[in-house]
Structure 1
Amino acid sequence: MKRQTLHEDWLLSTTAGPVPEEIAGRSVPAQVPGSAHTDLLAAGLIGDPYLDTAETGLAWAHRTAWRYTLTFDAAAPQPGERVDLAFDGLDTVATVHLNGHRLGSTANMHRAYRFDVREALRGGANELTVDFFPALDYAEQERERLGHRPHTNAHPYNMVRKMACSFGWDWGPDLQTAGIFKPVRLERWKRARITGVRPLITVDEHGTGRVEAHVGIEHAESGGTGADLVVTARAGGVETRVGVPAGASEAVAVVEVPDARLWWPAGYGDQPLYDLDVTLSAAPGAAEPEAGLDAAHRRIGFRTVTVDTSPDEFGERFVVTVNGRLVAVKGANWIPDDHFLTRITRERLQRRVDQALGAHMNMLRVWGGGVYETEDFYDVCDERGVLVWQDFALACAAYPEEEPLAAEFEAEARENVARLCSHPSLAVWNGGNENLWGFADWGWQQELDGRTWGEHYYYELFPRVVAELDPTRPYVEGSPCSPGHRPGGVHPNDPDHGCRHEWDVWNQSDYTHYRTTVPRFCAEFGFQGPPTWRTLTTWIHDSPLTPTSPAFLLHQKANDGNGKLHRGLEGHLPVPEDFADWHWATQLNQARAVAFGVEHFRSWWPRTSGTLVWQLNDCWPVTSWAAVDGDERPKPLYYALRHAYAPRLLTFQPRDGGLALVAVNDTDEDWSGHVHLQRQDFAGEALDAARIELAAGARSAVRLEVPGSLSTPADPSKELLVAATDDARTVHTFGEDPELAYDPDPLSAVATAVPEGYRVDVRARGFARDVAILADRVAPDAVVDDMLVPMTAGETRSFTVRTGARIAPEELTGPLVLRCANGLVAHAAGAA
């Protein structure tokens, strides 16, 4: 196999649409992989789409047709040689010509395409053209042909196989990209090639790892060759060779590895990876140079994974099990890390997954409104032990079951299941996002009036494809869903069955509503907050900057988003008039709300077996549910998740009309000793104390009774309850912040330069709630090691701010940098 990449010297132009005069008729250099937007940006013909209100000025691109052209040199096909033009991804509705020969058309960005170009390729210069038709126009035409299907967007994204959030979402821009967004190459080969390697990996009761490598084979000539090909598979020092029958399109090579080291999720063990090398060769005695025809490499891990959905006394479980062990899932939902997909590098993915690990997460859910991620994403998760819940690419819509969509869904499902099955991190295949829920509750049945909506995909097509191509992994019909129950049975969002999405909080209820249900697995829940100050002010330049200024509002995509932010503060924190205070208050409230939910859900382990917060990351600078903003900076929510997902957690929870302390031990070691409880006033005076025994077995949650004298304050406005062990601590106040008599200015601090940046030593004169250092206000790269720390009177704490910038240390202790909740309440009281 000889490969010639075709990434250099492309040109981009427009061929139709409402194109601005300064762009129409021009050709600009095109980066491949890339997109039309990023090429125009590089050429200086458009402003950055993320900046201020630039997004609205680019709506003309929705209706524009684009042309990519390339002149490249190649040798003419040799006798007996097959030559293919391979595109790993085209976004989205495209027609490909080579030297005037029409090779074919595409309408699915979730697939790869390959064209036999022996008839079109010539020796010397060749002209390759890829024309992109507006995906929006195509989707609207399909809607007219097939009939309307309900969806949650201004555009009919459910009528074209393109990333749904490319058309905008309640956290993303509406930019509708187009382009050659994955690699393209010319491939030359003789006799036969490997079309794919699909390893099915199991481990038996004796610890022997079994690799059943299904090797796809394509022959250069129809009918193939005689039985003169051999497939060789090697893994773990073991090699297997199998002959290929005449004309066969698949060979299966089984490799058994004794005493295979098991791959585990983060926090449960190590992540050993093995090399699987597969070669396709001519049989012994064949003439060179054809003896070695093609080769493929995969990295694999030995492990088993299931989802236990068996009935119990509460309903039906939803427990992820790896290597026979129950896993307490702690994670988040994942969206594309940049709206412009080609800007996402392996290094960026490593940083993001490392942030997930830094918050003690062990699973990421690849959400169905995005894309099937690149190999880099799954490689990084393999290496770090982060489980992946993989949605099929459908979200929040009814999808037609007619052609051509039916065939496209099957083709993309088969391709991606086969492509990804080698990754040990991949744990769950899921039918899509909120489509079953939409059919049940969102008025779709009346809108559909009997038209198809996707039921065939969730209950027949996808499970059939997974069972055929990847039977080593579980499949669930949707998220949320009650597994095994078709429409008309158990409600898909029933808290007692399967996985649940909890969106009453944020949309209509206070975050204390989380405590009204005990779901079996919460796959989505969240609360909004703005990005970090540095990210916000880098991209938004309204003057004055307010929650209702034009650019700020354009970067707030949620329906009534600011209204929900303000209503979410009610009873918990004031709604400040000053924008800097408003920014801090809404960030803090986001962090508290989500941590409140996480701690409640974790306190019910194993009845509630996992949580996936919406969401880990952002794709641009925006007010959203993310813990890490679009410029990769951790928001206060990130630190709240790190605390709430800690391997050992103490949390006060209401139980049976009183206050209980729950100890959650997500480690393999028993947690024993004593918990020291103290009720004290905000000035630090001890009012009552007790010591209670702690005995929490490995991977358990236990309830500890709190003596009544400790949970009954004399003055609720001035007292708190502290629970502490050697490795965990939590505090409980007896009212919401506006009801508490905080010291308005309880902190003093000194910052000192240290090798990695600065150390900030903070001392609390009185109780200070949620102490934070908003370091990005001082330097763009500044990151603090911890945040949202409660400090009792007399306590000292050192924070480390990592930065390469040289700054005046006192900047890190200024009133807009060193913050806590006390100041918000004091400012509101002063204003009143």
Structure 2
Amino acid sequence: MTFRPLTTADGSAWILRATAGPVDESIAGSDVPATVPGEVQLDLLAAGLIDDPFDGANETTQAWIGYCDWQYSTTFDWVGDDSDRHDLVADGLDTAATITLNGVEVASTRNQHRSYRFDVGSLLVDGPNELVVEFRSPIEFAREQEAILGARPTVMHHPFNAIRKVASNFGWDWGIDVSSSGIWKSIGIESWSGVRIASVRPLTEIDGTAGTVAAAVDLEWAAGASATDLAVTVNGQTGTIHVKPGQTDAAVRVDAGTVELWWPRGYGEQPLYDVAVTAGDSAWGGRIGFRTVTLDTAPDEHGAPFSFFVNGQLIGIRGANWIPDDAFVTRITGERYRTRITDAVDANMNMLRVWGGGMYESDDFYDACDELGVLVWQDFLFACGAYAEEDPLYSEVEAEAREAITRLSAHPSLALWNGCNENIWGYLEWDWRRKLGDLTWGEGYYFDLFPALVAELDPATPYSPGSPFSFTRYAHPNDPRNGTMHIWDVWNSKDYTSYGEYQPRFASEFGFQGPPAWSTLTASVHDEPLDPYGTEMLVHQKADQGNLKLERGLGDHLPAPRSIEEWHWATQLNQARALRYGIEHFRSLWPLNTGSIIWQLNDDWPVISWAAVDYAGHRKPLWHALRHAYADRLLTIQPRDGVPVLVAHNDSAERWTATVSISRLALDGTAIAGHFVDIDVEPRGIMLLPLDACVLAVKDATAEFVEASADGVDSAFWYFVEDPELALVPTASALDVSVERFDGGAALTLRATSLVKDIVLQVDRLHPAASVDRGLVTLPAGATAVFTITGDLPESLPTVFPMLCSVNDLVTR
């Protein structure tokens, strides 16, 4: 069995041409060198025919690309061999494609989320061969399919729900509309004889320490093939059966002996075991982990929980939603996946939800999650729209789902299959029922097709029809008392303290916006002067009335910014505070609430958004807030019936015993009142403790605050007034700063002489590649913190705003 890649990296020369549509005059008739795998815009950019699509207002000036048909072509030399089959294998075509080989049409495809294989042995000739892949305009193709299927509601301007393509590629309320086309995964010719292993699902079972693999193997046979043995080896143990020609599926059971359990991070180790499958000359290899995952949604006295159990252990979920990490998905490398998932791990997360408007990610994503102990909640790719349940869409949906379930079922990190994002909610509450009439809208996928396929192909992984969902037909799908909940009224219309009004069993989507790092923003936005409502700034703000909501969201918490630098810092800070407020409140409800998944971890281009890590990889203040709020051991002061109480949440395997110092302090550090409490919190447990009356008996609310501190954890703070009313002093007057340079960076030691709130170093202003190890640090008078900066730094380091930021800069006038 041999594979002949037809990709640029393997020496194939591809040409791109525009063949129809409103082609720009500078490109019409041109043959453009193409990269495969790749995408149209990236080829045009590499050829110098367009500017960076992410820069300025280029999204608008380059919109014509998505309305055009495009052709990829290559010529390759071929020498025949003795193989019985020669298959053209295309792992990913985006999206409506017609393939011809030597002038003969091989096939037409219509699904970005599938791979394809075609027997082309009769079409290959010795010597030069020409392969052509023609792509329809994704926008026009979507419109054509909408006309065939019937128009259905969506949240975006293109009918993304009529075709099987990454929905956010058409734009989203955080995403650029690039409407791309291209051969986005590997393509080549595989030659083989006898039998071919088409797929393997190595499903695991565990009984105590004894592991078993039940491997389901799909086979394909060439004409004249002979019977052969099918062998599966794991952990040094092999199971073998005899298979006969024409047998398309087989099951091999292997007793793997004594194995170690795979756990999510924070709950144990992540041992992985190689699996090798052979049949004739065909071989397959993969990795597995032994674990069980169950989902508890059984009714209880409060409604219905949404609780993950791994190996019988209840898991407190601390996570984020994941979107494609680049609008041009072929640029997402294994290294980039690993870096971004490490961002999640370093922020103390243990779950990523692959959102339904994106894609089934590369194996690199799931491999990294397996290795790093990050659970994966995998949406089927249906988001914020009504979807037809008739052909030609239905058969495509079933085929892609079968392929995705089969491919991902081996990963121990996979913890949930989810039918859709917000579509059940949308049908009930977004006026879809009136608009749809008798049209189908996706219900049959979420309640019939997908659960049946999961039960058939990956029965050990739980399934949910949608998010949000209440797991009963008698409750609103977004009922906080049941199942999963999305909370968006806070961002859209309320103060972020309104998170405290909710007691969700599981908050699977909620978020608050903030701009990216300064260097990320200014590299793409060039308005003069820079302004929140500048032309290019608004191109990079996709949310409806987004900047107005950013300003409204400041509320009484922070004063109106006086400059673009203050606007940038204040809105970043407010984003961080909003999510920290919500998460700490939800965690204080444990175990009534068993998880939070914020919107969102990452960005797919430079944009003002809900992300914690911007497109350039800068960790925003929100990321530092998440690292604190998602810590294994959390101290937080929460209101209960209008009275603040201390909450100690211990999401670790060890008992937490500590003495907590609770003090009411003046801004200059003078201790006014205080007491000590001893805590003894069982593993995965929680304690709520009242604060002494002396601590709460504030005399001057503008000049006093409460700190709760203990060894080994971040302090919790309580303030009696909002920041604009606090008698803070300017940062420069409240901090003593010393700088120690070292090769490759510098250490800044900050010592407070008066309270300094939420210190952040915007080190990307020194160099776009610079980074800092901590942020969002509050220093009471007398406290010290060291910030370590790495990167190519200037000789002189500024230690004032806007490089060194705090709340004090915003409220002192």
Question: Shorter-normalised TM-score: what interval?
Answer: over 0.9
Deviation at 1:537, TM superposition (A): 1.1
* Match among 794, 801, 805 for residue 807 of structure 1: 794
* Separation in structure 2 between the aligned mates of residue 518 and residue 739 of structure 1, nearest angstrom: 30
Q: Deviations over 1:180-220 (max 9, x none)?
A: 0000010001111010111111211x321111111110011
Which amino acid is 2:801 matched to?
A: P
* Separation in structure 2 between the aligned mates of residue 592 and residue 121 of structure 1, nearest angstrom: 62
Any residues of structure 2 matched to 1:152-551 within 5 Å, and which?
A: 152-204=155-207, 206-221=208-223, 225=225, 228-281=227-280, 293-483=281-471, 485-486=472-473, 489-551=474-536
Deviation at 1:529, TM superposition (A): 0.3
Q: Deviations over 1:514-562 (max 9, x none)?
A: 0111111111011000000111111111111110111111000000001
Give the SS at the match of 1:542.
coil
1:94 and 2:102 aligned:
no
- Preserved contact between residue 425 and residue 468 of structure 2 (Cα < 8 Å): yes
Deviation at 1:754, TM superposition (A): 2.3
Partner of 1:285: none
- Preserved contact between residue 752 and residue 809 of structure 1 (Cα < 8 Å): no
* Separation in structure 2 between the aligned mates of residue 749 and residue 404 of structure 1, nearest angstrom: 66
* Separation in structure 1 between the aligned mates of residue 640 and residue 562 of structure 2, nearest angstrom: 38
Q: After TM superposition, which residue ranges in structure 1, 4 or more long, deviate above 4 angstroms?
A: none
Q: Deviations over 1:776-796 (max 9, x none)?
A: 111121111111111001212
* Match among 12, 15, 36 for residue 11 of structure 1: 15
Which amino acid is 2:804 matched to?
A: L
* Separation in structure 1 between the aligned mates of residue 505 and residue 333 of structure 2, nearest angstrom: 35
Which amino acid is 2:500 matched to?
A: R
Give the SS at the match of 1:15.
strand
Which amino acid is 1:825 matched to?
A: V
* Separation in structure 1 between the aligned mates of residue 658 and residue 765 of structure 2, nearest angstrom: 42
Q: Deviations over 1:750-805 (max 9, x none)?
A: 211124511001111111110111111111211111111110012121111111x1
* Match among 549, 554, 562 for residue 569 of structure 1: 554
* Separation in structure 2 between the aligned mates of residue 74 and residue 462 of structure 1, nearest angstrom: 42
Which amino acid is 1:124 matched to?
A: G
Partner of 1:40: 44
1:663 and 2:648 aligned:
yes
* Separation in structure 1 between the aligned mates of residue 135 and residue 562 of structure 2, nearest angstrom: 48
Any residues of structure 2 matched to 1:702-741 within 5 Å, and which?
A: 702-728=687-713, 729-741=715-727
* Separation in structure 1 between the aligned mates of residue 736 and residue 403 of structure 2, nearest angstrom: 59
Q: Deviations over 1:434-476 (max 9, x none)?
A: 1011011100000001210000000000000000000010000
Which amino acid is 1:18 matched to?
A: P
Partner of 2:805: 819
Q: Deviations over 1:587-643 (max 9, x none)?
A: 000000011001001111111101111000000000000000011111110001001
Which amino acid is 2:765 matched to?
A: R
* Separation in structure 2 between the aligned mates of residue 779 and residue 127 of structure 1, nearest angstrom: 48
* Separation in structure 2 between the aligned mates of residue 101 and residue 635 of structure 1, nearest angstrom: 53
* Separation in structure 1 between the aligned mates of residue 801 and residue 323 of structure 2, nearest angstrom: 35
* Separation in structure 1 between the aligned mates of residue 106 and residue 735 of structure 2, nearest angstrom: 70
Deviation at 1:32, TM superposition (A): 0.5
- Preserved contact between residue 331 and residue 361 of structure 1 (Cα < 8 Å): yes
- Preserved contact between residue 53 and residue 551 of structure 1 (Cα < 8 Å): yes
- Preserved contact between residue 76 and residue 124 of structure 1 (Cα < 8 Å): no
Deviation at 1:92, TM superposition (A): 0.2
Deviation at 1:135, TM superposition (A): 1.4
- Preserved contact between residue 395 and residue 433 of structure 1 (Cα < 8 Å): yes
Q: Deviations over 1:35-94 (max 9, x none)?
A: 01100000000000000111111111121000000101112364x611100000000000
* Separation in structure 2 between the aligned mates of residue 31 and residue 143 of structure 1, nearest angstrom: 31
- Preserved contact between residue 77 and residue 83 of structure 1 (Cα < 8 Å): no
Which amino acid is 1:557 matched to?
A: K
Partner of 1:147: 150
What TM-score does the superposition give when structure 1 sets the normalisation length? 0.96
Any residues of structure 2 matched to 1:787-806 within 5 Å, and which?
A: 787-803=775-791, 805-806=792-793
Which amino acid is 2:237 matched to?
A: V
Deviation at 1:123, TM superposition (A): 1.3
Deviation at 1:808, TM superposition (A): 2.2
- Preserved contact between residue 15 and residue 31 of structure 2 (Cα < 8 Å): yes
Percent sequence identity over matched residues? 49
* Separation in structure 2 between the aligned mates of residue 630 and residue 24 of structure 1, nearest angstrom: 32
Deviation at 1:245, TM superposition (A): 3.5
Q: Deviations over 1:291-350 (max 9, x none)?
A: xx2000001111111111111111111111101100000010000000000100000111
Q: Deviations over 1:364-398 (max 9, x none)?
A: 00000000001010001111000000000010000
- Preserved contact between residue 93 and residue 111 of structure 2 (Cα < 8 Å): yes
Give the SS at the match of 2:357.
coil
Give the SS at the match of 2:263.
coil
Give the SS at the match of 2:727.
coil
Partner of 1:286: none
Partner of 1:290: none
Partner of 2:78: 74
Partner of 2:69: 65
- Preserved contact between residue 221 and residue 245 of structure 2 (Cα < 8 Å): no
1:593 and 2:578 aligned:
yes
Which amino acid is 1:52 matched to?
A: G
- Preserved contact between residue 652 and residue 662 of structure 1 (Cα < 8 Å): yes
* Separation in structure 2 between the aligned mates of residue 298 and residue 711 of structure 1, nearest angstrom: 59
- Preserved contact between residue 334 and residue 617 of structure 1 (Cα < 8 Å): yes
Give the SS at the match of 1:168.
coil
- Preserved contact between residue 150 and residue 447 of structure 1 (Cα < 8 Å): yes
Q: Deviations over 1:701-745 (max 9, x none)?
A: 211111122123111111000101111211111111112111123
1:772 and 2:760 aligned:
yes
* Separation in structure 2 between the aligned mates of residue 591 and residue 405 of structure 1, nearest angstrom: 41
Check 1:21–1:520 CA distance in 2 against 1; reply closer, same or farther (3 A cut). same
1:624 and 2:621 aligned:
no
Deviation at 1:246, TM superposition (A): 4.1
Partner of 1:28: 32
Which amino acid is 1:808 matched to?
A: E
Give the SS at the match of 2:261.
coil
Partner of 1:748: 736
* Separation in structure 2 between the aligned mates of residue 700 and residue 469 of structure 1, nearest angstrom: 36
Q: Deviations over 1:227-286 (max 9, x none)?
A: x211111111111111113421011111112221111101111111100000012xxxxx
- Preserved contact between residue 751 and residue 809 of structure 1 (Cα < 8 Å): no
Which amino acid is 2:634 matched to?
A: L
Deviation at 1:146, TM superposition (A): 2.0
* Separation in structure 2 between the aligned mates of residue 411 and residue 581 of structure 1, nearest angstrom: 51
Give the SS at the match of 1:710.
helix
* Separation in structure 2 between the aligned mates of residue 585 and residue 150 of structure 1, nearest angstrom: 36
Give the SS at the match of 2:171.
strand
